[in-house]
Amino acid sequence: MEYKIYLSPPHMSGREQQYVREAFDSNWIAPVGPNINVFEEELCAYTGSKHALALASGTAALHLALLALGIGLSDVVLCQSLTFVATANPIVYVGATPVFIDSEPVTWNMCPNALEDAIRHYIRIGKRPKAIIVVHLYGMPAMLDEILYLCKKHDIPLIEDAAEALGAEYGGSKVGTFGTIGIFSFNGNKIITTSGGGAMVSISPEYLERARFLATQAREPSRHYEHHEVGYNYRMSNVCAGIGRGQLEVIDERVAQRRSNFQFYQHYFEGIAEIGFQTGIAETFSNRWLTALVIEGNRASPADIQTALLAHGIESRPVWKPMHCQKIYETLPRFGGSVSERLFERGMCLPSGSNLGEAGRELVARIVRSCF
């Protein structure tokens, strides 16, 4: 349907057209060109990463990250359960087995205690996990100190799924740069967009070069088209990278606007005991890509609120359904309790776009409050 207020629509700065026009004028309408090179350099400068690779999607970045780490058939990958399905699917692409880890209730991200239980179990049975995928859900940094400690202790690479978290920080550094490999998404609903697209970042040039090779159909250096292994058409186009350059110029503004939405909702709902928010730990800075909350008690349910918002043409969304509850993954192993299930049952996300005006968020808040 056509909404009056969307959950998280694109927000153009106006500068994107200049870079797109340059791509057209120079005829760089391809997955190579100046915009891609500069966008990767600017992404490194913004995140503090050493190397970046612009790709067709965040999912492609995750797929390549697993391949770059040499993960394949029958390997075990420990994966956060409370996430979008695109976090888990690439594990299956490479023939590995996803094992799902429940959340902790503060950040809603991977529970370090459940993670440790899973690591110990698989080491005990002789199947040391080949990677861990942690998600910074809705732009909220996970408990990285504890997770990185376990990764280092057991020599397991960490992949950070920061698809929703560009601009978020942990201890003053940008998330996505703590693990062996980090990935971002620039889908149309993300904090900045390239219309569709993603990126892979790493301190290791070897992983990036391996991913770059695979992302360009694994073409060998030869005068003719020579291929010794299966590759993919995963590079970002020069036109899309031009959009990304214009978007990246205003990333700090977009983060500030999203955080302002969260602070508005948080203040407006003070006094409603049934409403709680996704919080974080002291050393973190969330980009608040989406304002996520939980609804307790019997006066109103998330479904009641979503229905009330929909009646006014306002889009909202349930919290992600955990992967271990999805039909395609429900038979796979999982570790932890039922925190993610509870968050799915009682959680929802409110309109959080950086172009959501004062009148729009006031209307959203009034409708939510009226449900109580």
Could you give the residue ranges of the DSSP H alpha helices within 249-357? 251-268, 302-311, 339-346
CA nearest 107: which of 343, 357, 351?
A: 343
Catalytic residue among 127, 130, 152, 190: 190
The CA-based dihedral angle spanning residues 274, 277, 280, 284, taken in that order and rounded to the nearest 10 degrees: -150
How many whole angstroms separate alpha carbon 262 and alpha carbon 280? 13
What are the Cα distances from residue 28, in Å, to 21, 142, 193, 227? 10, 39, 20, 25
User: CB atoms < 10 A from the CB of 77, how many?
Assistant: 24
First to last CA, the chain: 27
Active site residue 50: no
How many whole angstroms separate alpha carbon 190 and alpha carbon 201? 17
Could you give the residue ranges of the DSSP H alpha helices within 1-33? 16-25
Q: Does residue 51 sit in helix, strand or coil?
A: strand
Residue that is written with structure tokens 């109103």 in the block: 300
CA nearest 102: which of 319, 344, 341?
A: 341
Active site positions, annotated: 190
